[in-house]
């Protein structure tokens, strides 16, 4: 198997694993949504003392919606990459056969007649490889963007704890629980994203070797 075909095979596996990792994040996003809803209900019960906290629940909900959309977008790219990897592999196989036919017919009277078809499959293979690489690059960039935006969750959790100090002791546990939940779920999502990103790091090291 050629180096390029090996690389495509690696990315095929990467795309499949990334899709699996991002599927898990969707479940966690729903947990953040639920946490935001529960927090909003709790802050409404407390009243004016929890107005600052109530505003935070909107940011928590926005973070969950953003994360869910990002996960779906990356998952879409992963599925697209998987399908395109199959097309690249088929084009590579066809190109290999054409290369063999071209070599075997080099002394034949009409050997030149194979050249247009050979050029077409060569161009098609190059085009598919380029498109495939763009999808892989975009997927990697979006994973890093998602990881960077997840830092907001830790900031929100810290502010939630500050706001919890403004309410009576009876309700502080509820608000602190929201902060802890946001931290916990965000860390779980970040772990999945890190797992996905590490796959690209491994592939980069393999290509450099």
Averaged pLDDT for residues 199-204:
61
Confidence label for 201 from pLDDT (cuts 50, 70 and 90): low
Domain boundaries in the chain?
3-87+135-208
More confident: 50 or 85: 85
User: Averaged over 11-31, what is the pLDDT?
Assistant: 79
Q: Which residue has the higher pLDDT, 118 or 47?
A: 118
- Quote the Cα angle for 126-131-137, to 5°: 125
Taking Cα atoms as reference points, which of 145, 189, 141 lies closest to residue 25? 189
Kindly state the average pLDDT of the residues 43-61: 79
pLDDT in tens, 98-121: 888 888 887 777 778 888 888 998
Q: Which of 146, 186, 167, 160 is nearest to 57 (CA)?
A: 160
Question: Could you tell me the pLDDT band of residue 127, with boundaries at 50, 70 and 90?
Answer: very high
CB atoms within 10 A of CB 59: 17
Would you say residue 50 has pLDDT above 80? Answer: no
- The whole-number pLDDT of residue 123 equals 93
pLDDT at 2 over 60: no
Taking only the tens place, the pLDDT of each residue in 75-102 is 888 888 888 888 888 888 888 888 888 8
How much is the average pLDDT of 178-199?
Answer: 86
- Angle CA 74–25–146, to nearest 5: 50
């Amino acid at each position: 198997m050629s180096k390029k075909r090996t690389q495509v095979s690696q990315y095929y596996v990467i795309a499949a694993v990334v899709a699996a990792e991002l599927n898990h994040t969707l479940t966690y996003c729903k947990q953040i949504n639920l946490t935001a809803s529960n927090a909003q209900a709790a802050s409404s019960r407390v009243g004016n003392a929890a107005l600052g906290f109530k505003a935070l629940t909107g940011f928590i909900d926005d973070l969950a919606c953003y994360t869910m959309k990002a996960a779906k977008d990356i998952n879409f790219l992963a599925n697209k990459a998987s399908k395109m990897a199959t097309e690249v592999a088929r084009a590579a196989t066809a190109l290999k056969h054409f290369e063999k036919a071209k070599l075997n017919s080099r002394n034949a009277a009409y050997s030149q007649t194979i050249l247009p078809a050979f050029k077409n499959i060569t161009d098609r293979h190059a085009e598919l490889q380029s498109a495939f690489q763009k999808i892989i690059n975009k997927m990697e960039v979006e994973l890093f963007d998602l990881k960077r935006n997840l830092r907001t969750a830790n900031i929100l959790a810290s502010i939630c704890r500050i706001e919890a100090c403004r309410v009576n002791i009876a309700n502080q546990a509820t608000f602190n629980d929201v902060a802890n939940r946001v931290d916990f779920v965000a860390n779980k999502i970040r772990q999945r994203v890190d797992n996905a990103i590490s796959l690209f790091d491994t592939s980069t090291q393999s290509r450099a070797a």
